[in-house]
Structure formats: C-alpha cells, structure tokens
Amino acid sequence: MHWDFERNAPGKVDLATPPQRIECRAADPPGDPGERYLVFAPGVFAGAGATDVSGWRPAATTGLEASLHFGPASRSHMEDEFLAGALPDSSIGLNLGWAILAPKPTSVGYAEIQVRPKRVYAVAQGWQWNPSSNRHGPQATISFGPFFLRAGYLIHSRFDMTVGIFLKGFLSWIWSR
C-alpha cells in the first residue's frame, strides 16, 4: 500500500544550461525529478541454523521485525510497476525486532541500522539483548530479497548463525524530489 503526496515537483530543469535544441524555439520537457520514500515494513521471520551453547547444535528462530526506511528513487511512479515500487532504489533505516531462539529457548530483542545500497540486498549491524539474563551483544544481518543470513553473539553466553526468510508488508509514503 502506498500514498502519493499531492505537492509534487514539476520536474528537473536547469536554468543555467541552454536548451539542447536551441533552434527549435520550444521548451525542453523537464526531466523526471524522481521521488523520496518513507517506508514502514512490519513482518515476521523464521530461520534455521546453529548455535554454540557448550558445543555447536542445530537451532531455529522465529520472530517479529518492524523497519522504517528512507531513500530516493531515480524515477517517478515506480509503485505502479509490479514489485518495483515497494522500496526505493537505495535506503537507510532502522530495524527493531524480537526473536525466539531454540533449542534452549531464549528471547532476544534487537535494534539494527540497515543500509540498502540496492533495492534487492541490504546489510545491517546492530545490538541484541536478552532481558531475562541481562546479556547483550552484537548482531549482523545480510539480506537478499526476502532471505537473510544473521550472526549474533550474546557476550559470555552464545553465538548463533541463522539462515531464514522475512515475510513483510510495506506501507510507503512517496513524494517527488
């Protein structure tokens, strides 16, 4: 779902540059100004991997994540194209999540800063914490489309490596640059 703000820019026009076809004596059409996106993306995730709690063991995780991202798009009205308009060309944002890790059930909350240099992949770095044990530590995530690889370390407790999938909805606010 998306909303377009009604106050759009008329287009990119550089008044200091002469028209390309000066002999035509007509106005050059303005270039596409592109758009800016603010995207809220709540969803769920699940994955499988391994954990190091006194030896490596198979592990599973499931949880909730909400993201807020801001970024530009080079073209206007990309949201009219199938699957292309949910995210800008690139973005930076914040992810907040809650995960349940197994086999030894542990719940952790996390916050990550995510950079999405291209629409289809992203890297995130953040911090996780376990409120019941008061342990915390770094976490890193790499994602490609809906798939992710995540590594996390609760200091003096456990190391986890997970491969999984995100299922997210997108709510986008879009306006011209």
176 C-beta neighbours (distance < 10 Å), count:
19
* pTM for this prediction: 0.80
Single-letter code of the amino acid located at 144: F
103 C-beta neighbours (distance < 10 Å), count:
11
Q: What are phi and psi of 71, to 5 degrees?
A: -175, 165
Peptide bond into 103 cis (omega under 30): yes
CA 162, CA 60: separation in Å to the nearest integer?
8
Instruction: Give residue-wise pLDDT tens across range 41-88.
Output: 999 999 999 988 778 889 899 999 999 999 998 877 766 666 566 778
Residue 82: per-residue pLDDT: 60
CA 25, CA 29: separation in Å to the nearest integer?
12
Helix (H, G, I), strand (E, B) or coil at 23: helix
Whether 124 has a pLDDT exceeding 90, the answer reads: yes
Residue 81: per-residue pLDDT: 65
Of 60, 50, 170, 45, nearest to 116 by C-alpha is 170
Residue 148: per-residue pLDDT: 97
Can you say how many angstroms the Cα of residue 89 is from the centroid of all Cα atoms in its chain?
A: 11
